[in-house]
């Protein structure tokens, strides 16, 4: 698509032979660890798809050169990779943003945003299209706005403060729907045919991947396409597909001769013998359309098949997920703002024992924690969006954004927002009562949190495993040794060549000390946290290696241990990024929020209990928000207090 300078579109169709069927590192490890051929093969299929996604990016932007990988494995900390820039939207972009917000606000004021069934109206969809909302990520030559992803993500946060569903649908359409597959993998004819329709909103999009038996295990896909003249006939069932209704354009994953493939499919305007929609009750996504799709020899032209030189349909599916994960974090930043904006009036109003609860330390702590989570979600959104715009794959970074944002939203909803509002939380019409499932469901979207945490660790240790552990494993296999014993001379002889590189690496680690990271212009209140996070990230390579050495070929079965160390590393990254973001803004309230968030994560990492200093800091932050909340909730109209008693 372009050269390898690493700009946002610098994906390259390399001729490197990733498409061969040699066993991947993960597949080899599973076979050596005694797993069945079937499990190893299926896991190897996923691992191979991951390798093929890597090859879409220039070497310097692949995972082994990503900021987090370098922060853990390099001997010197890559400080420059964690610097955050805050680009501004140009006049045309801001015009589209403002018009889109105005459209949603007007429909909400007039009560025309939802149908009687509570779904987004066609009129709102159309008016957003006229405003340019659906084309934000589409190139200008196809009728879009071509907004950089970092700025797009930031705008989703703004939209979420007004309507989280519309913000979410912007991500579904542009990130994980048909737009990204077409922009990245479509040929010119396909782009010319579909992208103008998607940019204008004449056709909205979805991505049909999940099936009744294929969620986290994508090797279980059963939908198939069979050639029939100039067409393919598609048969199978998809489930939990957001934004999928009659007339939409979808990216459809199916198998052709056993190989995963992706078609751009125009759904018919009416159900027929070849296509029907399965409807079901779903607590989450109540304002959007989420349906099952059933295909029975559904005819699709061959020219709708996306072609990829090295890789398959899973490669295409994985590519757009990172953008969707950052968008989830951006949406969380806006949704938590909504909850904070609706907590403040209640805190002023509600009295217990003769005092408003905004005078209570626990309530002030909750307000301070909401602000801390908002700041962290903003930070991860900006940093990850910037990384993607630079051209990085961003797999590990975007996983952290998704996991942190969704878990923060869940905690705020349950532990801070609901508990402060008490029984009123469950009234019909209350923000919590009406949206509790919306607040919780992002923990599942784009990958369940702990599953993604294991994927994060696998990405982090993959190169280290290939470089050092795979040669040792193969030497053991060749020697017929199942349980190596360092006291057995024959075992040492068998490993003498394969183990030398690892021994040299480990000895080198014991004789060296990581160089201290350099971050200029950090406020005094954040310096210790920046130093703590960067140093701990450097030490994480030994913790990861110790885990690999302890469990060796059985590591894949140690899911709890993998998820645990992954969570610790993720917390270190969030701490560092949040502090650097707040320092960049220079805003005193955000700096205080970053310090609270950093201490909270440091306590979690080290297993320490909060002390008086921390409680004073977080309650002081809550008090400052009661005095001036404009840094976090400016422009948000809170809902009326329900069942007032004064």
pLDDT digits (tens, 9 = 90+) for 130-139: 999 999 999 9
Beta bridge partners of 236: 295
**Domain limits for position 175:** 91-202
Same domain, 163 and 190: yes
Beta bridge partners of 249: 205, 266
> pLDDT tens, 404-418?
999 999 999 999 999
Same domain, 124 and 175: yes
Question: Which of residues 306, 329, 357 is at a domain's end?
Answer: 306
pLDDT of residue 515: 76
End-to-end alpha carbon distance in the chain: 65
pLDDT of residue 216: 74
- Distance separating alpha carbons of residues 280 and 306, to the nearest angstrom: 30
Pair 372, 599: CB distance under 8 Å: no
Same domain, 238 and 138: no
Same domain, 251 and 186: no
> pLDDT tens, 526-570?
999 999 999 999 999 999 999 999 988 788 889 999 999 999 999
User: Has residue 112 been placed in a domain?
Assistant: yes
Pair 69, 396: CB distance under 8 Å: yes
Pair 233, 298: CB distance under 8 Å: yes
Same domain, 128 and 223: no
Tokens representing 582 are 């707040």
Same domain, 165 and 212: no
DSSP state of 279: P
Q: Is the pLDDT of residue 298 over 90?
A: yes
pLDDT of residue 254: 95
DSSP state of 140: G
Q: Is the pLDDT of residue 33 over 80?
A: no
pLDDT-wise least confident of 263-267, 416-420, 484-488: 484-488
Section 175-192 average pLDDT: 95
pLDDT of residue 18: 35
Section 34-41 average pLDDT: 58
**pLDDT over 70 for what percent of the chain?**
93
Average pLDDT, the chain: 91
Same domain, 142 and 195: yes
pLDDT of residue 25: 58
pLDDT of residue 314: 83
Q: Is the pLDDT of residue 35 over 60?
A: no
Q: Is the pLDDT of residue 7 over 50?
A: no
Same domain, 160 and 219: no
Section 380-387 average pLDDT: 98
pLDDT of residue 52: 83
Helices (H), 4-115: 25-32, 37-54, 67-73, 91-110
Q: How confident is the model at residue 1 (pLDDT cuts 50, 70, 90)?
A: very low
Q: Is the pLDDT of residue 582 over 50?
A: yes
Residues 65-95 as b/e (b if ≥16 CB within 10 A, e otherwise) read bbbbbbbbbeeebbbebbebeeeebeeebee
More reliable by pLDDT, 635 or 217? 635
Section 165-185 average pLDDT: 95
How many residues comprise the chain? Answer: 646
Pair 530, 594: CB distance under 8 Å: no
pLDDT of residue 19: 38
Question: Which of residues 202, 233, 252 is at a domain's end?
Answer: 202
More reliable by pLDDT, 25 or 498? 498
Considering the entire predicted model, what is its pTM?
0.92
User: Has residue 428 been placed in a domain?
Assistant: no
Same domain, 120 and 177: yes
User: Has residue 266 been placed in a domain?
Assistant: yes
pLDDT-wise least confident of 170-184, 211-225, 427-441, 598-612: 211-225
Question: Which of residues 306, 337, 369 is at a domain's end?
Answer: 306
**pLDDT over 90 for what percent of the chain?**
80
With residue 250 as reference, give the H or E element that holds it. Answer: strand 249-256
Q: Is the pLDDT of residue 26 over 80?
A: no
pLDDT of residue 14: 35
Q: Is the pLDDT of residue 9 over 50?
A: no
- Distance separating alpha carbons of residues 41 and 260, to the nearest angstrom: 15
Beta bridge partners of 57: 11
Section 331-348 average pLDDT: 98
Same domain, 103 and 194: yes
User: Has residue 125 been placed in a domain?
Assistant: yes
Pair 246, 226: CB distance under 8 Å: no
> pLDDT tens, 193-237?
999 999 999 999 999 999 999 877 777 899 999 999 999 999 999
Which CATH number characterizes residue 108's domain? 1.10.540.10
Q: Is the pLDDT of residue 2 over 70?
A: no
Tokens representing 486 are 């360092």
pLDDT of residue 36: 58
Same domain, 190 and 259: no
Q: How many domains does the chain have?
A: 2
User: Has residue 132 been placed in a domain?
Assistant: yes
Section 138-159 average pLDDT: 98
pLDDT of residue 56: 86
Same domain, 214 and 298: yes
Which CATH number characterizes residue 236's domain? 2.40.110.10
Cα angle value 399/401/406 (rounded, 5°): 100
Give 186-242 as a DSSP string. --HHHHHHHHHHHHHTSS-EEEE--BTTBSS-GGG---EEEEETTEEEEEEEEEEEE
User: Has residue 460 been placed in a domain?
Assistant: no
pLDDT of residue 401: 98
Q: Is the pLDDT of residue 27 over 60?
A: no
Q: Is the pLDDT of residue 29 over 90?
A: no
- Distance separating alpha carbons of residues 74 and 61, to the nearest angstrom: 15
Give 374-392 as a DSSP string. HHHHHHHHHHHHHHHHHT-
| Residue recorded with tokens 């919590």 | 432
User: Has residue 182 been placed in a domain?
Assistant: yes
User: Has residue 411 been placed in a domain?
Assistant: no
Q: Is the pLDDT of residue 166 over 80?
A: yes
pLDDT of residue 160: 98
Pair 401, 325: CB distance under 8 Å: yes
Q: How confident is the model at residue 37 (pLDDT cuts 50, 70, 90)?
A: low
């Amino acid at each position: 698509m372009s050269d390898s300078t690493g700009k946002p579109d610098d994906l390259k169709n390399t001729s490197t032979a990733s498409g061969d069927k040699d066993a991947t590192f993960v597949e080899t490890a599973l076979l050596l660890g005694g797993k069945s051929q079937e499990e190893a093969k299926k896991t190897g299929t996923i691992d191979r798809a991951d390798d093929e996604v890597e090859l879409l990016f220039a070497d310097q932007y692949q995972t082994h050169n990503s900021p987090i990988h370098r922060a853990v494995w390099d001997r010197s900390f890559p400080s420059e990779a964690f610097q955050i820039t805050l680009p501004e939207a140009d006049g045309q972009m801001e015009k589209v943003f403002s018009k889109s917000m105005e459209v949603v606000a007007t429909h909400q004021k007039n009560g025309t945003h939802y149908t009687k069934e509570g779904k987004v109206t066609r009129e709102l969809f159309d008016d957003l299209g006229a405003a340019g909302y659906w084309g934000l990520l589409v190139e200008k030559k196809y009728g879009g706005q071509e907004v950089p992803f970092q700025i797009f993500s930031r705008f989703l946060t703004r939209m979420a403060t007004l309507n989280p569903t519309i913000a979410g649908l912007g991500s579904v359409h542009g990130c994980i729907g048909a737009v990204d597959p077409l922009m990245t993998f479509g040929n010119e004819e396909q782009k010319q045919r579909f992208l103008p329709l998607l940019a204008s909103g004449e056709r909205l999009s979805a991505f049909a991947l999940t099936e009744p038996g294929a969620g986290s295990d994508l090797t279980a896909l059963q939908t198939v396409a069979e050639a029939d003249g100039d067409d393919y006939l598609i048969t199978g069932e998809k489930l939990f597909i957001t934004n999928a209704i009659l007339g939409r354009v979808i990216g459809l994953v199916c198998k052709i001769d056993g190989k995963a493939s992706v078609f751009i499919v125009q759904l018919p305007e009416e159900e027929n013998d070849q296509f029907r929609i399965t409807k079901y009750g779903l607590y989450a996504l109540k304002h959007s359309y989420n349906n099952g799709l059933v295909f029975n020899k559904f005819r699709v032209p061959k020219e709708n098949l996306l072609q990829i030189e090295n890789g398959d349909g899973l490669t295409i599916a994985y590519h757009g997920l990172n953008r969707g994960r950052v968008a989830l974090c951006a949406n969380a930043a806006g949704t938590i703002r909504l909850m904070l904006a609706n907590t403040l009036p209640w805190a002023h109003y509600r009295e217990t024992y003769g005092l408003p609860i905004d005078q209570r330390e626990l309530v002030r702590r909750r307000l301070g924690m909401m602000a801390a989570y908002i700041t962290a979600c903003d930070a991860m959104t900006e940093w990850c969006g910037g990384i993607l715009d630079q051209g990085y794959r961003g797999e590990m970074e975007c996983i952290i954004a998704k996991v942190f944002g969704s878990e923060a939203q869940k905690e705020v909803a349950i532990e801070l927002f609901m508990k402060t509002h008490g029984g009123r939380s469950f009234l019909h019409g209350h923000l919590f009562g009406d949206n509790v499932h919306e607040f919780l469901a992002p923990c599942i979207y784009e990958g369940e949190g702990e599953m993604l945490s294991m994927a994060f660790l696998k990405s982090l240790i993959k190169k280290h495993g290939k470089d050092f552990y795979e040669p040792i494993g193969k030497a053991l296999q060749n020697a017929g040794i199942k349980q190596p014993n360092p006291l057995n001379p024959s075992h040492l002889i068998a490993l003498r060549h394969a183990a030398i590189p690892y021994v040299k690496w480990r000895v080198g680690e014991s004789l060296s000390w990581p160089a201290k990271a350099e971050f200029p212009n950090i406020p005094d209140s954040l310096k210790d946290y920046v130093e703590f996070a960067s140093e701990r990230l450097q030490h994480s390579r030994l913790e990861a290696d110790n885990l690999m050495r302890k469990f060796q070929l059985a590591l894949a079965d140690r899911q709890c241990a993998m998820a645990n160390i992954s969570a610790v590393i993720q917390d270190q990254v969030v701490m560092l990024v949040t502090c650097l973001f707040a320092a960049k803004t220079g805003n005193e309230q955000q700096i205080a929020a970053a310090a609270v968030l950093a201490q909270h994560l440091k306590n979690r990492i080290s297993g320490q209990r909060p002390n008086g200093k921390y409680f004073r800091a977080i309650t002081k932050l809550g008090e400052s928000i009661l005095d001036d909340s404009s840094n976090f909730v400016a422009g948000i109209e809170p809902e009326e207090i329900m069942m007032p008693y004064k």
